[in-house]
Amino acid sequence: MGLQPFSAKSRQALRAIRRQCLLCAGGRADVRQCRAKESCMLWSYRFGVRPEKYKAVRRRFFSPKALPLL
């Protein structure tokens, strides 16, 4: 069960949410530390991607990597 591709309009909406979060919080680090989870409807989308996609990328980024030997 893979993630469905987004249309151009969906990507534009996610970018607009990201811009709003940056304006509201003040900066990238502040967006990451945002505590408005209960009061903000946009909180789940604050990174500019669907929450499921963000979790998959984060999991891949922090997963153990195989070490090449020689």
pLDDT at 29: 92
Q: Residue ranges of the chain with pLDDT lower than 50?
A: 1-2
For residue 29, is it within any domain? yes
pLDDT at 66: 85
For residue 16, is it within any domain? yes
For residue 21, is it within any domain? yes
Quote the CA–CA distance of 65 and 51 in Å, as a whole number.
Answer: 23
**pTM for the full model?**
0.64
pLDDT at 16: 92
Q: Which helix (H) or strand (E) holds 60?
A: helix 51-62
For residue 24, is it within any domain? yes
Domain that holds residue 32: 10-57
For residue 52, is it within any domain? yes
